[in-house]
Amino acid sequence: MAVALVTGTSTGIGLATAVTLARAGHIVVATMRNVDGAGELRDISANEKLRISIAPLNVDEDASVEDAIAKAIAEHGRIDILVNNAGVPGGGGAVEEVPIAFFRQVMETNFFGGLRCIKAVVPGMRERRHGCIVNVTSVAGRVANAPMAPYAASKFAFEALSECLAQEMRAFNVRVAIVEPGVIATPIFGKGKQGPEGSPYPHSRRLRALFSASLAKPVSPYVVGEQIREIVDGDSWQLRYPVGPDALPMLQRRASKTDEQVIKEAADSDEEYRARIKRDLGFELNL
């Protein structure tokens, strides 16, 4: 039985991970920005008598992170597992159209938020020579598609941080894993910032069509939660874990193309884009 702290647990992957780890017998500190949104998690925990405590934690704020993690350690004596899941969606349009303030907002949560939590738990894990840190990124952490610059940049950065951290912690017996979900049915897809009306860039419209086609056969966030449980309950030093039926095909598709091919294809007509997505991924797009 381990003590796990999971961020961003009000819905989606975070909620599924907290429940899955608790069902596996772990003590779970489920954190979120606003605990008023914990209704579903409270109900599941009460009905199944799971060892889940709910705590406020805003990953954007140093004091909030330090306070929440200090309280968790005071109550349980340690944190064995950190799951960095809290994040915000991207969107907003092309680089030209997105304010720099929005780039900063996405980076603050998706990169610096996870970094704050890591820095708060690493000293204890290093001293005990035991622990597991799971950073939830995305296939967008390795595949940069327009118009996802704010989101992809934050996830690319978090992947790089995770890879460096894994190297640093290996000598101290602390495992680091990167979980890269594909398109998973979570509320994040309803929260993305829409691009401006009349944009000269077609990429936002195309991406919405692609997500819509993928979500026609929704993949439960519990698929990701179960992968995270397998990581923390196992002993593998594997770094990256693509998760979901479309994750590996998306990564393989990108790996099969040169940078120049990807850039050229972004200028395709709608008809060419539709045909390419059907050929490569099997999706019929409504454009």
The residues assigned a catalytic role are: 151
Q: 240-243 and 131-136: which strand pairing?
A: unpaired
Q: Are 178 and 231 contacting, i.e. CB atoms less than 8 angstroms apart? A: no
Question: Given the structure tokens 């309803």, which residue do they identify?
Answer: 190
| Sequence-separated (6 or more) residues with CB below 8 Å from residue 129 | 172, 173, 174
| Angle at CA of residue 242, ends 240 and 248, nearest 5° | 125
| Sequence-separated (6 or more) residues with CB below 8 Å from residue 216 | none
Buried b (16+ CB within 10 A) or exposed e, 4-34: bbbbbbbbbbbbbbbbbbbbbebbbbbbbbe
Burial of 150: CB neighbours in 10 Å, binned 0-12, 13-18, 19+: buried
Question: Given the structure tokens 């099969």, which residue do they identify?
Answer: 256
The Cα–Cα gap between 7 and 14 comes to 7
Cα of 133 vs its chain's centroid, Å: 13
| Sequence-separated (6 or more) residues with CB below 8 Å from residue 114 | 7, 59, 84, 86, 135, 158, 161
